[in-house]
Structure 1
Amino acid sequence: MKLHNIAINNLRRRKAKMAFLVAGMVIGIATIVTLYTITTAMEQEIADKFDQIGSNMTVVPQSDSLSMSYEGVSASDVGGSVNLMTMNDVAKIRTIKNKENIATVAPKLLDSLEVEKKKRLVMGIQFPAELRLKKWWKINGSKPENEKDILLGSEAARALGKKPGDQLEIGGSRYKIAGVLEPTGNQEDSVIFMDLSTLQALTGKKDAVSFVEVAALCYTCPIEEITRQISEKLPNTKVTAIREAVQARKDFVDRFSQLGISVSIIVLVIGSLVVLTTMMSSVNERTREIGIFRAIGFRKSSIVAIILMEAGIISIIGGVAGYLVGMAAAKFTAPVIGQMEVIISWKYETGLASLVIAIIVGLLASFLPALQAARQDPVEALRYM
């Protein structure tokens, strides 16, 4: 009879013990899979949220007299003598070493212009880049489609008594109000937004830029390094990284990940001890059987192989079942644990890793009982017959 047939028959005859071992293996692997899957999914979700929150860096011209009001620039400064950047400076941002981590570069020009016979704060922006950056903007009306279309902040629209579709005179020229932003709760509510190149031409500040907002894919990238690289490219600017927006959630995921690793190690140790004690008990119960095998000519290596085959079969079943149970548990518990929308996807890499871990744990835990069985004296073992 072949060794693997002996191992399979032994498991069939000891169904209760086999079920106990498989259950222990399933619980251990399922716990690891659940914690790993949830942690990975949460990290990805937070990375996506991080990329959607808008700018996480600002680039402002250095100026000792600059009054901080809107991202480092205030209405009182824009009409005076302050340092300005240029569009050439903006282009340099995309030439840094980590340029692949730069998602959006949104230059802005601020100026105080006469609007309806009153001085109003006007911001020149590149609408496609700005709309990518400000994904939370909700526009009543439509998005600007050409250089004659403008957007109004909610407070600016209220003060001017304007609505989408109306005309507005700015600096002696008339523009169409494409849309009005819903209240954002910040400075944007009081701003009039128009095309950057149009405002540059209107104010005679060709290629001028007041400051730049940069959205970098920086959940996992070195944001400090990117900040340094931009500062090197633009030495006369102040580059500030803004990371607080999702730092709390990131810290939570880091702590949860550390907890998951600790729990996984504990579960692996407990699972190994369960397999070890159960296999030791099984070997003791099969003293007579092992003695017969040794008496009829089975080598020590054959006895070890039989015990390890049994452990391997149990480990394979436990690994596969543990992966399936763990993924199912992750789908149900991830939204509760993460308190966010979490997408759990089935990955064959995780299933393969689960199987490998189960086999390694099962074989290592069974190796000592296998050696103990192989060292039994056949004469001594046959005394139990």
Structure 2
Amino acid sequence: MNKLIVGNLVHRPLRSMISAFAVAIEVVMILSIAGVMFGILNGSRTQTTGIGMDMIVRPGAGGTLANLSAAAADIRVADVLRGLPHVQVVAPSNIKLTVSSNVENIAGIDFATYNALRPFVFLEGGPFQQPLDVIIDDLQARSGKGTRVGDKIKILGKDFTVCGIVEHGKGSRKFIPLTTMDDLDGTPNRAALFYLKTEDSPKFQEEVRKEILATDGLGDYQVQTAEEYLSMLTPEHVPAFNIGLRVVIGIAVVIGFLVIFQSMYTAVMERTREIGILKSMGAGKIDIVSVVLRETGILASVGVILGVGATYVLRSVLHNRFPTLSFQVTPGWVAGAVCIAMCGALLGALYPAAKAAAKDPIDALSYE
């Protein structure tokens, strides 16, 4: 039987390759969309953690996520927050989402206080010297075809000079002076949020929260700990994240299912006489079903191996071409993609297998 199964696959090499490639494409689709979507989300969590803050304070009208907030707070709120007990550092900031050449966050910061949360690690250059200076991280520098200190890059319609290149993981990939961002936005002396570093964190966080909300003018502000904010960066809290992921996975499963179904159905029709011979020699329905499903299992296994391998190659290519792109392939998602692809392929082969098993041996032998 094993030789028969292998012989059947080799007899139609083109169809076998197309079926295996269809399963491979299914696996690549699942792993790539999950890798990019979860990579961006987890990358955002890592970047936020790297800021070094313990708490975030925002105006009540701000969005759920920091990059959806407008610069609605007076910068002088920072002085009020610094005067509260157990508050060590207050760093006003503004985060602007841009969609010019690509989607990215530009962080407007007060360098001294932002650096006090967790110091930048400079690989080249140093802090801002001029209003139109920009600090970029090493991944952003690589993605810009080797951007160096002194080079010009366009941000928010203005030519900025790269004054420093830092290690990545500090909240954003591009940093400009907060005053410059406010001037470009036409909102002088404003901030979207305030990052706080508290004494002996997290011991006094609840006390600080109560003090902030009890302060005149700050009663309607949102006050979150770093853990509370990071808990919002999950698929459940990102609009349409899970829906988009399920849609792509569903499309991938349908592609794999239909190709396997068509391939095995055609194979069964072409082998009608062979099935009749097998039945006349004593093969039962289970034996016939087993042949079809085992053929499918081999095709799906080859496709899964190709798909997983192609995904890692794709990740390597994308990392080299787009260093700032987060593409995470996790063992859990690899296992999930393998199970989905194998189950989809076997389901696609069930009807052809049942049809083959139901054939009457007399009719099959007389089939031309």
Flag whether TM exceeds 0.5 (same fold). yes
Report the Cα distance in structure 1 between the residues aligned to 2:5 and 2:76, rounded to whole angstroms: 74
Aligned residue number for residue 168 of structure 1: none
Matches of 2:208 and 2:39 in 1, distance apart?
31
Contact 1:331 1:344 (C-alpha < 8 Å) held by counterparts:
no
- Among candidates 271, 274, 278, match of residue 289 of structure 1: 274
Letter in 2 for 1:33: L
2:6 corresponding residue in structure 1:
8
Q: 8 Å contact 1:38–1:330 — kept in the other structure?
A: no
CA offsets, 1:255-311, max 9 Å, x none?
A: 576444323311211221111111111101110001111111111011111100010
Within the candidate set 345, 353, 356, 1:370 is matched to: 353
Q: Does 1:133 align with 2:132?
A: no
* Preserved CA contact (<8 Å) 1:34 1:327: no
Please give the residue correspondences for 1:3-82 in structure 2 after superposition, counting only pairs within 5 Å.
Answer: 3-53=1-51, 55=53, 57-58=56-57, 68-73=74-79
* 1:341 alignment partner, SS class: coil
- What letter corresponds to residue 334 of structure 2 in structure 1? G
Q: Which amino acid aligns with 1:36?
A: A
Task: Give how far 1:342 is off.
Answer: 2.9
CA gap 1:183/1:361 in 2 versus in 1, 3 angstroms: closer
Structure 2 partner of 1:315: 300
Q: Structure 1 residues 278 and 215 mapped into 2: Cα distance closer, same or farther (>3 Å)? A: farther
Give how far 1:52 is off. Answer: 3.5
- What letter is aligned with 1:85? L
Alignment of 1:67-216 (within 5 A): 68-73=74-79, 85-87=84-86, 106-107=88-89, 131=115, 133=117, 135=119, 184-186=177-179, 213-214=195-196
CA change 1:234–1:41 in 2 (3 A) is same
Partner residue of 1:240 out of 207, 217, 222: 222
Q: Is there any run of 5+ residues in structure 2 with no aligned partner, and where? A: 60-72, 91-111, 132-174, 181-193, 199-204
Letter in 2 for 1:214: L
Distance (Å, rounded) in 1 between the aligned partners of 2:250 and 2:116: 43
Counting only pairs closer than 5 Å after superposition, residues 321-332 of structure 1 correspond to structure 2 as: 321-332=306-317
Q: 1:18 to 1:343 in 2, by over 3 A?
A: same
In 1, the alpha carbon distance for the partners of 2:14 and 2:295 equals: 14
Matched, 1:342 2:341: no
- The whole-number CA distance in structure 2 between the counterparts of 1:258 and 1:50 is 25
The answer to whether the Cα contact below 8 Å between 2:89 and 2:117 also exists between their aligned partners in 1 is no
User: In the superposition, relative to structure 1, how do residues 107 and 256 fare at CA in structure 2: closer, same or farther (>3 Å)?
Assistant: closer
Name the SS for the 2:324 alignment partner.
coil
3-state secondary structure, aligned to 1:86? coil
RMSD: 4.6
Report the Cα offset of residue 130 of structure 1.
6.7
Q: Which residue in the other structure is 2:70 paired with?
A: none
Q: 1:232 Cα shift? A: 5.5
Aligned partners of 1:18, 1:59: CA distance in 2, in Å? 58
Q: Deviations over 1:171-214 (max 9, x none)?
A: xxxxxxxxxxx993449xxxxxxxxxxxxxxxxxxxxxxxx943
Q: Is the 8 A contact 1:319 1:355 kept in 2?
A: yes
> For the pair shown, which has the larger CA radius of gyration, 1 or 2?
1
Q: 1:261 to 1:319 in 2, by over 3 A?
A: same
Q: Are positions 1:361 and 2:347 aligned together? A: no
Counterpart amino acid of 2:41?
A: E
Amino acid at match of 1:314: L
Aligned-residue sequence identity (percent) comes to: 21
Q: Aligned in 2, Cα 1:184/1:130: closer, same or farther, shift over 3 Å?
A: closer
CA distance in 1, matches of 2:207, 2:315: 40
Assess, with a 3 A threshold, how the Cα gap between structure 1 residues 41 and 215 changes in structure 2: closer, same or farther.
farther
Quote the residue 2:367 is aligned against. Answer: 384
Does the CA-based 8 Å contact 2:288-2:353 persist in structure 1?
yes
Q: Structure 1: how far apart are the matches of 2:57 and 2:330?
A: 38
Structure 2 CA distance for partners of 1:356 and 1:185, relative to 1, 3 Å:
closer
Kindly tell me the number of residue pairs found equivalent between the two proteins: 258
Q: Matches of residues 258-297 of structure 1 in structure 2 within 5 Å?
A: 258-297=243-282
**Could you tell me which residue of structure 1 aligns to residue 135 of structure 2?**
none
C-alpha distance in structure 1 between counterparts of 2:12 and 2:279, whole Å: 21
Q: Distance in 1 between matches of 2:354 and 2:52?
A: 61
SS of equivalent to 1:214: strand
Shift of the 271–215 alpha-carbon distance from structure 1 to 2, 3 Å rule, reads farther
Deviation at 1:5, TM superposition (A): 3.6
1:58–1:373 Cα change, 3 Å: same
Give the secondary structure class of the aligned counterpart of 2:79: coil
TM-score, with structure 2 as normaliser: 0.57
Amino acid at match of 2:306: A
Give the aligned residue type for 1:46.
Answer: S
